[in-house]
């Protein structure tokens, strides 16, 4: 395997310390990113780097890789330690794809599994942004190195390619530094997590799950410290008020200081609370969007990108579109959004449909425009109370509201694009690779919002966690542009895409063996559905409990009690179903 060959090189050079950072700091044009960061990366380390967009993750990876120098501190590298680096927006040397990636079976294997096998002779200047990222990733994987530094490597990959990449990283024996929003990947390959948060850094031993535990514990400690601080402030304020009337500036100042303490808050987290996305959208009628025998041929193309597509989007649709790169997923979303018209066939949309399209091109935002101007749009004046509240909800408050788009990080621009789309109050959301370059906090909040959002949703994504949480129906586009249902759902499609084709002479027992993953995928899909249902019922139980504690009306209490008992009963029944299915899956 490609990764094992890389690992053998690592062991042969016997490099212990690969990179050592001492007191490193960096800043952007307008703010401090991080400071006084010290960490040692040794052979065998698997470091995942996480943090809110704009905290300096990409800057840190560039420093580790030697592509840029830190503003402060020192970086030392092990003697003979070779580093292979994939930046978030890589540049390729002039020439063909084959010249950019190199020769040998490693290069050929990487190009093949990343969907670029037929592009070896193509000039890199004629590649799309996604194709350039895949070529750069192939080059990074094929190049012998002791340390692999990857910045968002799963962007622009399909699900099968992500699964292959994960297997490569698990198998390699060199060091790894990884920035990714893909939680499956982080959980599978990391052994340590570095969190960047408001200029500070927190190092967690263990993988992604241990990072989540440590972060939750840190938040709990912060809340406990804040409770102690507020109790002390209350005690001091009560003591002051019990004394003689304030007649001097000094006690008045103490009273005011204590009051300010009570009104204050602990040091805010990197994001102020959960991302609040639940604001109004126009009611969606019975007619939404329909494609009938729709095909699309790009000008000058010899074959259609989409072929005889029949698709009906329902009022409460939760649809995932999957397929290999180049199969036409974005073109299909363009048709649904009305950006393109089918070459043949028909497209119809209901009269109440208002489409919000979150595409892959956040860079198309006007770089000279300020955040508040884009949020207001062409029909409103910037700075209205409604827009101000909306920007606060998306963590664009304070100075960031006046920041020009060109000063934002790639992830912040993507978050701003999401804000602009949702600010238009759509009732049909089309999301094309929404997880690219968004931080994990934003992803979790977006997933939570979509679980209860009343409109229709169509999503194209390579992020398994995101699709598992948001989609209920999966359709796949094949290489010929045909749309079909996927047996076994998302897991079934990944298994099928990764497996070799079944030849006509394959014995029946082998065919049955290949069907087993589909049965397991069906079990997994149902378990995830029950997980979602349990989460909804748990929220309902908590809401009813809060309502019961806030009322003294005995009739209302009786009614709320009946509803709470019914919700608790449903929750327990779902838990029984989950346990039963889990036992079957493990049998």
- Which of the residue ranges 245-254, 484-493, 506-515 has the most confident prediction, judged by mean pLDDT? 484-493
Report DSSP state, residue 177.
E
Residue 428 has pLDDT above 60, yes or no: yes
Q: How many CB atoms neighbour CB 468 within 10 A?
A: 20
pLDDT for position 480: 83
If one compares 295 and 549, the residue with the highest pLDDT of the two is: 295
Burial class for 490, CB neighbours closer than 10 Å (0-12, 13-18, 19+): buried
68-103 in b/e burial notation, b at 16+ Cβ within 10 A?
A: eebeebeeebbeebbbbbbbbebebeeeebbebbee
User: Phi, psi (5° rounding) for residue 410?
Assistant: -60, -40
Task: Quick: pLDDT tens for 464-489.
Answer: 888 888 888 999 998 788 999 887 77
Helix ranges (H only) for 353-488 are 371-376, 385-393, 410-423, 440-452, 464-470
Cα separations in angstroms, 100 against 6, 34, 122, 130, 138: 19, 33, 11, 15, 9
Average pLDDT, the chain: 80
Q: Is 328 left (phi over 0), alpha (psi -120 to 50) or beta?
A: left
Cα separations in angstroms, 78 against 21, 40, 82, 120, 147: 12, 11, 9, 34, 11
Cβ atoms of 349 and 291 within 8 Å: the answer is no
Task: Quick: pLDDT tens for 69-102.
Answer: 999 999 999 988 999 999 988 989 999 999 999 8
pTM for the full predicted model: 0.67
* Per-residue pLDDT band at 139 (split at 50, 70, 90): very high
Place of tokens 């960061």: 37
368 alpha-carbon distance from chain centroid: 27
pLDDT for position 303: 86
Q: Does residue 530 sit in helix, strand or coil? A: helix
Residue 194 β-bridge partners: 49, 203
Calpha distance 327→305 (Å, rounded): 7
* Per-residue pLDDT band at 223 (split at 50, 70, 90): confident
* Per-residue pLDDT band at 412 (split at 50, 70, 90): confident
Residue 257 has pLDDT above 60, yes or no: no
């Amino acid at each position: 395997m490609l990764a094992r060959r890389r690992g053998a090189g690592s062991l042969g050079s016997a490099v212990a310390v690969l990179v050592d950072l001492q007191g490193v700091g960096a800043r952007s044009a307008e703010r401090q990113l991080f400071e006084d960061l010290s960490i040692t990366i040794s052979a065998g380390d698997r470091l995942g780097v996480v943090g809110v967009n704009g905290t300096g993750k990409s800057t840190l990876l560039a420093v580790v890789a030697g592509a840029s120098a830190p503003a402060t501190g020192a970086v030392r590298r092990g003697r003979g330690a070779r580093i292979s680096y994939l930046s978030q927006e890589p540049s390729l040397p002039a020439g063909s794809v084959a010249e950019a990636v190199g020769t040998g079976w490693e290069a050929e294997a990487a190009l093949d599994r990343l969907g670029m096998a037929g592009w070896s002779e193509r000039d890199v200047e004629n590649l799309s942004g996604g194709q350039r990222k895949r070529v750069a990733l192939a080059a990074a994987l094929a190049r012998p190195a002791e340390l692999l530094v990857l910045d968002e490597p799963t962007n622009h990959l399909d699900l099968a390619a992500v699964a292959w990449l994960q297997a490569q990283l698990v198998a390699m024996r060199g060091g790894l530094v990884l920035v990714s929003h893909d939680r499956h990947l982080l959980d599978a390959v990391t052994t340590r997590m570095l969190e960047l948060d408001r200029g500070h850094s927190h190092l967690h031993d263990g993988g992604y799950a241990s990072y989540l535990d440590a972060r939750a514990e840190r938040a709990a400690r912060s809340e406990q410290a804040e409770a102690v601080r507020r109790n002390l402030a209350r005690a001091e304020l009560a003591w002051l008020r019990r004394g003689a009337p304030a007649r001097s500036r000094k006690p008045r100042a103490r009273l005011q200081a204590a009051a300010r303490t009570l009104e204050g808050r602990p040091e805010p987290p990197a994001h102020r609370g959960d991302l609040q996305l639940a604001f109004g959208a126009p009611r969606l009628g019975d007619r939404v969007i329909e494609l009938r025998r729709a095909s699309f041929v790009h000008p000058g193309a010899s074959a259609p990108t989409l072929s005889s597509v029949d698709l009906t989007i329902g009022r409460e649709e939760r649809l995932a579109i999957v397929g290999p790169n180049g199969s036409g997923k974005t073109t299909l979303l363009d048709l649904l959004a009305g950006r393109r018209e089918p070459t043949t066939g028909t497209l119809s949309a209901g009269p109440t449909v208002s489409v919000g399209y979150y595409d892959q091109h956040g860079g198309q935002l006007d770089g000279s425009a300020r955040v508040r101007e884009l949020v207001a749009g062409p029909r409103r004046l910037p700075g209205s109370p409604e827009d101000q509240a909306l920007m606060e909800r998306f963590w664009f408050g304070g100075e960031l509201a006046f920041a020009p788009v060109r000063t934002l990080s790639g992830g912040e621009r993507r978050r701003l694009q999401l804000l602009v789309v949702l600010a238009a109050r759509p009732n049909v959301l089309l999301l094309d690779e929404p997880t690219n370059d968004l931080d994990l906090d934003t992803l979790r909040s977006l997933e939570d919002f979509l679980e209860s959002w009343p409109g229709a949703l169509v999503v194209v994504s390579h992020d398994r966690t995101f699709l598992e949480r948001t989609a209920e129906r999966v359709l796949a586009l094949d290489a010929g542009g045909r749309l079909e249902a996927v047996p076994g759902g998302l897991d079934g499609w990944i298994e099928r895409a990764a497996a070799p084709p079944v030849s006509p002479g394959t014995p029946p027992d082998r065919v049955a063996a290949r069907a087993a993953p589909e049965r397991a995928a069906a079990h997994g899909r149902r378990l995830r559905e029950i997980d979602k249902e349990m989460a909804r019922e748990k929220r309902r139980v908590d809401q009813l409990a809060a309502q019961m504690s806030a009322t003294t009306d005995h009739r209302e209490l009786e009614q709320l009690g009946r509803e709470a008992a019914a919700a608790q009963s449903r929750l327990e029944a779902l838990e029984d179903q989950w346990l039963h299915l889990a036992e079957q899956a493990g049998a």
